[in-house]
Amino acid sequence: MRFGVVVFPGSNCDHDAWYALSHNLGHPTEFIWHDSNSVGNADAVILPGGFSYGDYLRCGAIAKFSPVMAAVKKFAQEGGLVLGICNGFQILVESGLLPGALLRNRNLRFVCRPVTIRVETTNTPFTCAATRGQLIKAPVAHGEGCYFADQRTLDALEAEDRVVFRYMDNPNGSLRDIAGICSEGRNVMGMMPHPERAADPLLGPTDGRVVLESMVRSMVAAHA
Amino acid sequence: MSDLAPSELAKVRGILGREPNQTETGIFTVMWSEHCSYKSSRLHLKKLPTKSERVLVGPGENAGIIDIGPNEKGERYAIAFKIESHNHPSFIEPFQGAATGVGGILRDIFTMGARPIAVLDAIRFGPLDDPECGDRNRRILEGVVEGIAHYGNCFGVPTVGGETVFERCYNGNPLVNVFALGVFRHDEIFFGRASGIGNPVIYVGAKTGRDGIHGASMASAEFTEESKQKRPNVQVGDPFMEKLLLEACLEAMHTGAVVGIQDMGAAGLTCSTCEMGSRAGTGVEIDLARVPQRESGMTPYEIMLSESQERMLLVAEKGREEEVFAVFRKWGLDAVTIGEVTGDGKLRVKDHGVVVAEIPNRELADEAPVYDRPHGVAPYRPAPMEAPEIPRSRDLNSDLLELLGSGDLCSKRWIWQQYDQSVRTNTLQGPGGDAAIVRIKETGTSVAMSVDGNGRYCALSPREGARLLVAECCRNLSAVGALPVAATNNLNFGNPERPEIMAQLVEAIEGITEACKHFETPITGGNVSLYNETLGEAIWPTPVMGIVGLMKTAPPVTIPFKEGARSVMLLGGLGTVDATRFGGTQYAKVVLNKMWGLPPALDMDYEKRVHTAVREVIAQGLAESSHDVGEGGLAVALADCCAEGIGASISLDTGLLPEFALFHEGPSRILLSTSQPEAVEKIARENNVECLRLGVTMKERLQISNSSETPAEKWIDCRVDRLREVWENALESLLNPVPVG
């Protein structure tokens, strides 16, 4: 299984995702530069955290115009797995690959601390190796992570089983405690907590691995 | 602007052999400012130890460099680190002042070729509940914290530790000292040298604007009522630009086409050109017309003195410019040849081909006047020597809670949760521990870091206070199992033209010298910040140390007790104290609202043996928890150990007054919990240090009693969740005071 980690100017969790996938999990992983017109031979694409293009205007608002995002959209339409973490989630929302918006944290301050999230559905390629109700501890680190959407969208997300994670201790004011959602086709997911920062036993709990391992498992199943 | 003194102007005339023009006068003024030239401190800084087998680069470069040994492939690695202040700008404009402070020190690290992997901040403010300045102090703290967070988080470097202190002397002069550390291989080290006559001088990064003109000279003057007008002197930071600059610079260095590189920090283009030339013994000629400019109509004076952020100057190998340009193009950054290296040793500045300044580099960069400022008086002391009558405590429990809820000792979680502590996935121990620890992925080594200052101790005795700081940092490192190897210092003082202030500076430098020699932590660089005075009132002498230690990468031993029924041991013993040595404690400050006497007594030989012993205890895997006994004394340290819900039953056998026994701040003490007390005692004996079994850990309560009385006298008895609640919530309450009336 080959992972591709997109590098935007200002991405700063790109190396962390690369390290978790290549060193902690042992899968070949390459970087994809923001001006490339394809995602290369990646089987799954990670949009990492950071401050793409300085997060000027709005988080992720400029990244959506980058050449690579056209390629990522195409890749997603063809069923490829796309995981957006933190700034990557913001980019997915700005690009229209996921619904809703990520607003400034309710208390208007950046927050970095471990949070506990609950797996709400295992019917996604990102949680198929987890159990429903499983608790995952992983850090958040963001200033704009308050998930917002209108009632109808929120209801639809729930009705379609697309809320993937909820916070047990909501750090940012997200509506309905939403920490991660997936696309209608279930192959695109965005989440604010950082699974790649919870993948190395040396640094503490490795709860985040289940997200990355789920991706591997579902890709293997797809290829079989 | 602080102009050149008449004697300095005479020296300039001597160097040039003529009158300087306006641009040249400006150039000399910033380069010979206190901030850039260290003219008041240089004579005394020479006393500091700067060498060891590990020191690859000492003071004088952008950052010091320490060897950390090879990895399993035999590649030799090194770390670069330094601490720097941004005090004056942070008072005038807290957010941008602190943000650009972080930006400046990060550039110092990556200009050497190292990738920054950790930042720590030592920040000091007036009390948040100060009756007159509380509002302003709260606003400054919030701005500084937000500024540090803004810059470090976006740049992508974890902020892993630091300290936050409140004293009235910082009401009009907050201190923002930022420490940064980076890692690289030996063959990736770069220097700020303009070598190779004919090589192109290339400007990269942000465009030059009018911001920050004369920032360096502003930082070299006292504050007056007019200082608010200096807001335009504070630079504006763009961490996104800096992140691009980091990646582009490291990538450009890897092309092999870069000869030397230096950031444009204080004194901007002036400082980088003449220092690079001076270090290489060459001349540098530039034409300002080629400098990318953000505003039109800037004069040569303004361009040379601008302190616009996120700019670097590099010298490339002639003929290989295109390789460098290609990298910067890839990252969307300006890179322009603005001149070349010459053989005449002069900084020659042209504007559209017309020479507007011509100054010998070496004289400009290295021949700044050195002042032996008078210091033959006793250092100024803000407190009496004699101890007052110390009233007997009515309730030791509430004393302890009052201390845990005080500004200096309470949890700083509200602050550090705004910092990204874990980006780059190296943080083994972040804020809140005795020392921060980051692993080096490329080797099996981890780096521990501690920054520490204590203006209160240093006000009582600059020499003893400074020695205590070094000891404290080394103890913090040893308490997590790391061997202290090198140091950087930030000397924050008042106006050195006053002998009683200069005497503080000299005493502190000598104290640091003695202790750094003793603990084998040479100083590899640092920063001096003088004129920290507002309306004639100086801050207390506040040297801040940043010391780094090395350890094998392993899960960290942390502060909290982990399990019940473990032995609680005090390595180093209860220590001694008398009334005079109690006057600098947090108890004296918070509970008695007084200050007197001297800081705690330090026996450096004994202290060092305690460090060796605790490192051995940790190396053998005997410690389940480990915590340095510091400010607030033994009772506060014990309360810290209860942070995760496990308490302890402690019995002290001491003839001391309870206030002294519980709250004195004698050094050389470390609290451990262990299931193998005999093995710990054996190590203590081998190192000839005391080791006491104080009691056992248990659920829910912290109890401390005195067993020298029969029946035992109960001193402290409190639920640990109560201790934790007070400690956790204090800072937020201080920041959000309930309005009166």
pLDDT tens digits along B481-538: 999 999 999 999 999 999 999 999 999 999 999 999 999 999 999 999 999 998 888 9
pLDDT at B216 exceeding the cut of 80 = no
pLDDT tens digits along B180-194: 999 999 999 999 999
pLDDT value for B235:
79
pLDDT value for A223:
77
Phi, psi of B195 (to 5 degrees): -95, 160
Instruction: Give residue limits of the domains in chain A.
Output: 3-223
pLDDT tens digits along B34-80: 888 999 999 999 999 999 999 999 998 899 999 999 999 999 999 99
**Does this model's pTM top 0.90?**
yes
Q: Token pair of B26, please?
A: 């400006």
CA B46, distance to chain mean position in Å, is: 20
pLDDT tens digits along A117-134: 999 999 999 999 999 999
Q: Would the CB atoms of B441 and A19 count as touching at under 8 Å?
A: yes
Residues of A with CB under 8 A from a CB of B: 9-10, 12-13, 15-16, 19-20, 49-51, 53-56, 109-113, 139, 141, 143, 194, 196-197, 199-200, 202-203
Q: Is A103 helix (H, G, I), strand (E, B) or coil?
A: strand
Searching chain A, which residue's CA lies closest to the CA of residue B428?
A203
Question: DSSP class of residue B232?
Answer: G
Nearest CB to A202: which of B244, B331, B439?
B439
Q: Would the CB atoms of A12 and B155 count as touching at under 8 Å?
A: yes
* Section B399-428 average pLDDT: 98
Q: Taking all residues of chain B, what is their mean pLDDT, rounded to a whole number?
A: 95
* Reported confidence tier of residue B360, pLDDT bands at 50, 70, 90: very high
Searching chain A, which residue's CA lies closest to the CA of residue B416?
A112
Do strands A188-191 and A146-148 pair parallel, antiparallel, or not at all (unpaired)?
A: unpaired
Q: Would the CB atoms of B424 and A16 count as touching at under 8 Å?
A: yes
* Reported confidence tier of residue B225, pLDDT bands at 50, 70, 90: low
pLDDT tens digits along B435-494: 999 999 999 999 999 999 999 999 999 999 999 999 999 999 999 999 999 999 999 999
Q: Would the CB atoms of B418 and A202 count as touching at under 8 Å?
A: no
pLDDT tens digits along A184-210: 999 999 999 999 999 999 999 999 999
pLDDT value for B229:
57
* Reported confidence tier of residue B543, pLDDT bands at 50, 70, 90: very high
A194 has catalytic annotation: yes
Nearest CB to B240: which of A10, A113, A143?
A10
* Section B249-270 average pLDDT: 94
Q: Which residues in chain A touch residue B149, judged by CB atoms under 8 angstroms apart?
A: 110
Amino acid at B172: G
Residues of B with CB under 8 A from a CB of A: 146, 149-150, 153-156, 238-241, 243-244, 331-332, 416-425, 427-428, 439, 441, 553-555
Of residues B76 and B215, the one with the higher pLDDT is: B76
pLDDT value for B1:
41
pLDDT at B674 exceeding the cut of 50 = yes
B35 has catalytic annotation: yes
CATH 3.40.718.10 fits A3-223, yes or no: no
Nearest CB to A112: which of B331, B417, B424?
B417
Q: Would the CB atoms of A16 and B423 count as touching at under 8 Å?
A: yes
Q: Rounded distance, CA B136 to CA B127, Å?
A: 10
Phi, psi of B105 (to 5 degrees): -70, -30
* Reported confidence tier of residue B711, pLDDT bands at 50, 70, 90: confident
Searching chain B, which residue's CA lies closest to the CA of residue A143?
B418
* Reported confidence tier of residue B217, pLDDT bands at 50, 70, 90: low
To the nearest whole Å, the CA of B483 is away from the closest chain A CA by: 20
pLDDT tens digits along B580-630: 999 999 999 999 999 999 999 999 999 999 999 999 999 999 999 999 999
Q: Is A190 helix (H, G, I), strand (E, B) or coil?
A: strand
Searching chain A, which residue's CA lies closest to the CA of residue B154?
A51
Q: Would the CB atoms of B427 and A54 count as touching at under 8 Å?
A: no
Q: Token pair of B533, please?
A: 């005075």
pLDDT tens digits along A14-71: 999 999 999 999 999 999 999 999 999 999 999 999 999 999 888 999 999 999 999 9
Q: Which residues in chain B touch residue A16, judged by CB atoms under 8 angstroms apart?
A: 423-425
Do strands B483-492 and B445-453 pair parallel, antiparallel, or not at all (unpaired)?
A: unpaired
B148 neighbors B98 (Cβ within 8 angstroms): yes
Which residue matches tokens 């200002």?
A10
A214 neighbors A129 (Cβ within 8 angstroms): yes
pLDDT at B218 exceeding the cut of 70 = no
Nearest CB to A141: which of B238, B423, B428?
B423
Nearest to B163 by CA among B102, B127, B121, B105: B121
Q: Which residues in chain B touch residue A145, judged by CB atoms under 8 angstroms apart?
A: none
pLDDT value for A82:
98
Q: Look at the alpha carbons of B346, B349, B350, B354 in this order and tell me if their dihedral is positive or negative.
A: negative
Q: Would the CB atoms of B243 and A109 count as touching at under 8 Å?
A: no
Q: Would the CB atoms of B156 and A50 count as touching at under 8 Å?
A: yes
Question: DSSP class of residue A72?
Answer: H
pLDDT at A144 exceeding the cut of 90 = yes
Q: Would the CB atoms of A10 and B332 count as touching at under 8 Å?
A: no
B86 has catalytic annotation: yes
